[in-house]
Chain A
């Protein structure tokens, strides 16, 4: 009986085309739109290398600090800012005229002369870095004038290690658009609640006409519930894993290197979604469409608050209404994925897993209280 009901529950949930579209394919389509939109934004926002020229003269050759810093900032090492050309003054002027460089630096009589043609962010960065170098040189000069025995080579190295570094925040290691994909998985997990709702509606006498027919059969209510919910969970999990695979293999979303934790988070999120759907099915004695509406509203609102439409919202809620995100299952899932990807420590991951399990337990308790009765006042 368990297997029979499981088989058919699985079949009629899977054959429900609109349900499968909204839970399986809609998140994939949404993910593809995210990919198309955000990858362009990220590419546009990536810091481009700044083309500069340095006038190659005798004074430059003696300026070890400048050569060292510019060398570091021009290397292909993920921290490069400049694309530097060492040339003569005439050539530098020509390059500037042709806008092939944004400016050039000439050291003349120990003075650093920066020539630019226009004002802008790139010119500001160029000037800021040269100013930093000049200041550092002054500090070295001061130290060496007072400390006669100082090893200048060692001092240069120390300063080099502490010199201001401009880091590209939009590098692969810190992509804010990852949050969008994490909220998408969270949305998919919670959308799965619709499967749980359908599974319950189909077997309870006071929920649907089919449920009345099932309820008068000689199969135990416990067996019916467990087999139907297992079928719903399995389908929901397939949907979530399909989306997860799509984001990993097609959209190249980075979930960190811990695939086991990623899967644990997906399964736990799916359990939370399923129990949410069951609780809503049990709590509201109304038609299926209204129940679907309630589940979708909770899911969309939760996803929005956890940063689906922009990470700023997550920060605003975290800062001003932290309780809201603590009880928001979409945020628990999103934050869980984020913690796998971003943090070395697993504390935050475990916190989210435990929060989701507590959330699921509360939903189960609500459902048990509501589903306990076997006779109804009206059907």
Chain B
């Protein structure tokens, strides 16, 4: 795969505190890269440095082998940014806002009109084009914020926590929109502290903490990095003690607990634990109402690696 962005040994200090500490990573063409980390982990600082807005103490950032500077207008032309805070003008309407930001990249009026219309369609704001931002709900404002950042059809899009404080319906709309952008050929760098979002849309994930990369890879790779357990819950009525003891002897079983008609079995890392358990239930003719497995989440990965929760 083609490396589109290369970050090498990036270090940024605020006085004596290192906001970014020797960060190195790649972004491949047409992937969605998730930058995951708790608040203050250095996600936004990394993005601002990559956009050449922030000065940094060490390292370099290259786009297709070319180092970015504030005057790299040819590189900037291909970049779109959706900031964490809503960055639109309250005095302008939805259409005017998108047209203004798009016009900073696209001079041709006809092409611009088409691009603006496409952006409005993508974020589903067709009914609100003449509204001013103040008249929009939080979710609609977020969508406008996205449209302003991507209307000029950039090849590289930075999305810095675009779903903060958004209702579930708007969040789904936004995530669907991001997937569409990738389908249209964009490379996306997506920061968030919502692990569910990252699991849903990202191809690769970099987990940051205190300005350092603590791990990176696909979500499967990350989950393999740690010996995280799998928990299976079975709803069984009147299970006798003998059966409970037999469950404890199954392969990879670490712990068994039976309470309130629920049998909770914790497996250590291993292949096909769930399938083997179902086979065992059939063989022993144990009837059950419900069975489900809880796989480890990225939050569990983060917890395992740092000892703290992502949302802390």
Contacts and interface: CB of A to CB of B under 8 A. Distances in A.
B149 A213 contact: yes
25 contacts: A4-B100, A4-B103, A4-B104, A5-B103, A8-B92, A11-B96, A12-B92, A208-B87, A210-B87, A210-B88, A212-B53, A212-B87, A213-B87, A213-B101, A213-B149, A215-B53, A216-B53, A216-B81, A218-B76, A218-B77, A218-B104, A219-B104, A221-B70, A375-B53, A377-B55
Interface in B126-164: 148-149
B54 A8 contact: no
Contact of B81 (A15, A202, A213, A374): A213
A12 B132 CA distance: 12
Contacts of B54: 375-379
A140 to B, nearest CB: 79
B104 A212 contact: no
Interface string B45-83: 000100111110000000000000011011011010101
B220 interface: no
Nearest to B49: A375
B294 interface: no
Given A213-B149, A219-B104, A378-B54, 13 more contacts: A4-B107, A5-B103, A5-B104, A11-B96, A12-B89, A212-B87, A216-B53, A218-B104, A219-B105, A220-B73, A221-B70, A377-B54, A379-B48
A313 to B, nearest CB: 38
Interface string B83-97: 101111101100010
Contacts of B260: none
Interface in A52-68: none
A213 to B, nearest CB: 5
A370 interface: no
**Chain A contact residues: over half helix, strand or loop, or mixed?**
loop
A217 interface: yes
A217 B105 contact: yes
B71 A374 contact: yes
A214 B81 CA distance: 10
Interface residues of B, number: 32
Interface in A200-251: 202, 205, 208-210, 212-221
Contacts, number: 85
Contact of A15 (B70, B77, B79, B92): B92
Nearest to A12: B91
A374 B70 contact: yes
Nearest to B84: A209
A1 B87 contact: no
**Best-buried of B52, B76, B81, B100 by chain A (most CB within 10 Å):** B100
Contact of B83 (A12, A213, A375): A213
Contacts of A217: 76, 101, 104-105
A154 to B, nearest CB: 77
Interface of B: 14, 48, 51-55, 70-71, 73-74, 76-77, 79, 81, 83, 85-89, 91-92, 96, 100-101, 103-105, 107, 148-149
Nearest to B72: A218
A78 interface: no
**Chain B contact residues: over half helix, strand or loop, or mixed?**
loop
A15 to B, nearest CB: 4
Contact of A11 (B81, B88, B91): B91
A219 B152 CA distance: 13
Contacts of B89: 12, 202, 210
A217 B14 CA distance: 26
A221 B73 CA distance: 10
B86 A8 contact: no
A8 B104 CA distance: 11
B191 to A, nearest CB: 15
B71 A213 contact: no
A20 B47 CA distance: 36
B86 A209 contact: yes
Contacts of A205: 53
A375 B70 contact: yes
Interface in A151-191: none
Given A209-B85, A374-B70, A216 B51 contact: yes
Contacts of B73: 218-220
B92 to A, nearest CB: 6
A119 interface: no
A220 B76 CA distance: 11
A212 B83 CA distance: 9
A98 interface: no
Given A209-B83, A213-B148, A376 B92 contact: no
A16 interface: yes
Contacts of B148: 213
B105 A15 contact: no
Nearest to A202: B89
Contacts of B55: 375-377
B51 A15 contact: no
A351 B54 CA distance: 44
B79 to A, nearest CB: 7
Contacts of B52: 216, 374-375
Nearest to A17: B91
Contacts of A375: 52-55, 70
A375 B56 CA distance: 9
A212 B44 CA distance: 13
